[in-house]
Structure 1
Amino acid sequence: MRNRHKAVKDPGKILILRLSSIGDIVLTSPLVRVLRRRFPRAAIDFVVKADFAPLLEHNPNIDTVHVIEPAAGLTGLWHLGQTLRNARYDIAIDLHKNFRSRFLVHACRARRVLRYQKHVWRRGLYVKLKLNTMRQAMPIYQRYLAAAAELNVADDGAGTELFWSHEHEQEAERAAQQHGISRGQALLAVAPGAGYFTKRWPAEYFAELAVQLAKHYSDFALVILGGPQDAEAGRAITNAVAGDNVIDLTGRCSLLASAVFIKRSRLLVANDSGLMHIAEAVKTPVLMLAGSTTRELGFFPQRAHSRVLENQTLACRPCSHLGYDACPAGHFRCMRELTPALVLAELQHMLRLARSAEELHDC
């Protein structure tokens, strides 16, 4: 067996494994970019679940995207392992560290294996006992970079990025035309979804915010984005607002077409979710509403023009690093006390700053 702890100075083939989810995969993009710059002639491949492959397929820094089909079960995983072994990778970088990624790393027999440090014990002490030893913890994308530190790669400061095709631009344009959005129409976007209940600002709050946005920003179209699971929240928002300036696209366009809409928007209001990370990647200011999660867990927006609203007075935060399907304390104050009035005020402040920056740029 080849020595899996041997240093590899000039790798010819690099494999990165991060299987899910939207935000986590977007957060790998700085590592992919600096690896490409450091090893311009190397093949850089990626393993991901099928649902998230579109996030990687158009990245010019990635050569091959290997897809896990969860429905194929262990048989499919075994076959993928054989494919990876035959590819003879010099380096495998495991950014997931679960059963599937460990199995594939073992199967591929890379000469050197690097792994992301999850800080499970520190995170557990923080979440369960509120012993916070993570105040100086790096954001997740920097932790991914740290996993490959021995390859002499470092943060280039450019942040995350995302790529798509002309077809996705056309898909977004068709959706815009169907809803009467012209090319020059100013957009505001909201994304009411998140993976868990405790990370979702209440749908009725989003609806109340939409009413105020329609009142104060009638020259903007409000675009609601999300997957099929967010359709109920989308309907609640559109039902609250009279007029044609609210467009519900939840479950009606692809993830990358949604990214096109986010890039066109002046600002996105979102929970701690994948679409929030997409806004960061396309450099659209994001106002993130933080419920059960906190900055120390590493997923907050990093760009200077983005903001976070959170209730910092609660001793119960964070109750989980992922989230729950119900508030463990029963009160859900972390989100309930972020009122629509507070969110509107912060959003208005961000839009004023953006307008001032545009005027300064035009001088």
Structure 2
Amino acid sequence: MPALNGRPVTDLVWLQTSFIGDMILNTAAMELARHEWPAVRQSVITTPAGVTIYHDQPFIDRTFLFAKRKGSVWAALQSTAGAVRAWRDRLPAGSHAVILQAHKSFRSSLVSRMTGLPVVTYRETARIPFFGKREVTLVDRVMPFHETARIGMLLEPLGVTREKIVAARPRLVAPGGQSSITRSLSPESRATGTRIAIAPGSVWGTKRWLPERFARLGVELLARVPGARIVLTGSPDEAPLCEAIERKIGDRARVENLAGKTALKDLPALFSTFDLVITNDSSPAHYAAAVNVPTVEIFGATIPAFGFGPLASRHRVVEAGRLDCRPCSDHGPQVCPQGHFRCMKDIAVEQVLEAGLNLLS
């Protein structure tokens, strides 16, 4: 059993309300904790998207909804913290729960404080003044490490070795039986030998490779890989982008556009059907890692050293040569600050094609 400050811990409560990609990467530490301490219960405070992602995952026993973008933020904070406190009060005698705060925002720190539980979080988060005199254990967010390891560092004060933390990988288990998304695939698609996913979107504009180059890439892949099919994936907001790429590829018999047609709960099952995923620096790279599908990840305004590179056992990174302006921000702005967008325009179709063919071979 883990211990914090000499006291045995029976319950770990993760607080993860960041982006979908971060939620997926957090699964590495969650599964590691379950492997280290099978009897320790694990819960997670998360967003509606997170509730869907963590539902039915074998390492999570309970989810607490934090609807931070719906209605009053203060009401959401009170509701979530109240639910956690009520759950804490119903725990068996002798139980000891600890918050593992993986998201270092103001609101996350506030909801942590309002639960009344001890907290393990990052040293930089402690600058937020809402912790007061509560029991807080601080860890360093070691920047050279991948984000999976930085999240996993929250387990170090509980006794997990850094070697195990660095080695952990994200994992999502597809729900049992045939999901609605795999049932919806055409018979030709299910029977194909090589399924290549192209995920051309991102919330951040300068993380998106050029749509016309994704289209040319699709044409080249269909020409070079016998029997291959292209599957375009993305959110509802990215459906128009994927439709434009689908039209430019042209071969409708060998291209499927699933953008806006896939539920979050079905994505692990969908991604497990792919032989290759080609994506920007965005959540599809992390879905691919969670089911260990070969991945080509294209980096523009951001860089792999930020800690969000591909983690599938077979992967390639494609990025432009050295540019003095790159990286230009943590996430990548919507528009290139320099006006030239060379970080993406300098990446040729041939570079991405070669990386993909190398993985398929």
TM-score range, shorter chain: 0.7 to 0.9
Q: Which amino acid aligns with 2:119?
A: V
Identify the match of residue 185 of structure 2 among 170, 176, 180: 176
1:113 counterpart (100, 115, 119): 119
2:131 corresponding residue in structure 1? none
Aligned position for 2:86? 86
Match of 1:208 among 216, 220, 224: 216
Which residue of 309, 316, 333 maps to 2:318? 309
Please give the alpha-carbon distance, in whole angstroms, between the structure 1 residues aligned to 2:279 and 2:123. Answer: 27
Aligned with residue 226 of structure 1, among 234, 253, 256: 234
Structure 2: gaps spanning 5 or more residues: 89-95, 128-140
Q: CA deviation at 1:118?
A: 6.0
Q: What is the number of residues matched between the two proteins?
A: 333
Q: 1:11·1:39 contact (CA, 8 Å) conserved in 2?
A: no
In the alignment, structure 1 residue 159 sits paired with structure 2 residue 169: yes
Percentage identity across paired residues of the two chains: 26
Q: Deviations over 1:12-61 (max 9, x none)?
A: 22211010211101111121112223332222110111123211112111
Secondary structure of the residue aligned to 1:315 is coil
Match of 1:131 in 2: none
Q: Which residue of 2 aligns with 1:323?
A: 332
The superposition leaves residues 299-358 of structure 1 with CA deviations (integer Å, 9 ceiling, x where unpaired) of 111344111001131111110111211011111111111111211122112212xxxxxx
Closer/same/farther in 2, CA of residues 283 and 164 from structure 1, 3 Å limit? same
Conserved in 2, the CA contact under 8 Å of 1:192 and 1:270?
A: yes
TM-superposed CA distance for 1:235, in Å, is 1.1
Cα displacement (A) at 1:93: 0.7
The SS at the match of 1:264 is coil
Q: Could you tell me which of 277, 294, 297 is aligned with 1:288?
A: 297
- Counterpart of 1:10 (choices 1, 8, 11) is 8
How far, CA to CA, are the matches of 1:104 and 1:72 in structure 2?
Answer: 16
Tell me the secondary structure at the aligned position of residue 289 of structure 1.
Answer: strand
Paired residue type of 2:204: Y
2:35 aligns with one of 34, 37, 53: 37
Question: d(CA) in 2 for partners of 1:87 and 1:165?
Answer: 27
* Aligned equivalent of 2:152, options 136, 140, 145: 145
Partner residue, 1:357: none
Aligned equivalents of 1:196, 1:28: Cα separation in 2: 21
Q: Which runs of 4+ in 1 moved over 4 A?
A: 117-121
CA contact (8 A) 2:271 2:288 kept: yes
Letter paired with 1:161: R
Alpha carbons 1:22, 1:52 under 8 Å: kept: yes
Q: 1:8 to 1:223 in 2, by over 3 A?
A: farther
How far apart are 1:116 and its partner, in Å?
Answer: 3.3
Deviation per CA, 1:67-122: give whole Å up to 9, x if none. 11221422122121111123336211111021221111101111x3111356999x
**Superposition pairs of residues 21-36 of structure 1, within 5 angstroms:** 21-36=19-34
Equivalent runs, 1:192-271 vs 2, <5 Å? 192-243=200-251, 244-271=253-280
> Retained in 1: the 8 A contact 2:4–2:158?
no
| Contact 1:55–1:163 under 8 Å retained in 2 | no
* Aligned equivalent of 1:103: 110
Q: RMSD in angstroms over aligned alpha carbons?
A: 2.3
Listed as ranges, the gaps of 5+ residues in structure 1 are 122-133, 353-363
Q: What secondary structure sits across from 1:320 in the alignment?
A: coil
- Report what 1:47 is aligned to: 45
Q: How far apart, in 1, do the equivalents of 2:201 and 2:59 lie?
A: 30
Deviation at residue 135 of structure 1 after TM alignment: 10
Cα distance, 1:138 vs structure 2: 0.6
TM-score by length of 2: 0.86
| Alignment check: 8 A CA contact 2:292 2:313 kept | no
Note the alpha carbon deviations across 1:125-159, whole angstroms, 9 max, x for none.
xxxxxxxxx99711111111112211111326341
Is the contact made by 2:217 and 2:349 (CA closer than 8 Å) also made in structure 1?
A: yes
What is the aligned counterpart of 1:344 among 341, 348, 353? Answer: 353
What is residue 125 of structure 1 aligned with on the other side? none
> What TM-score do the two structures reach when normalised by structure 1?
0.86
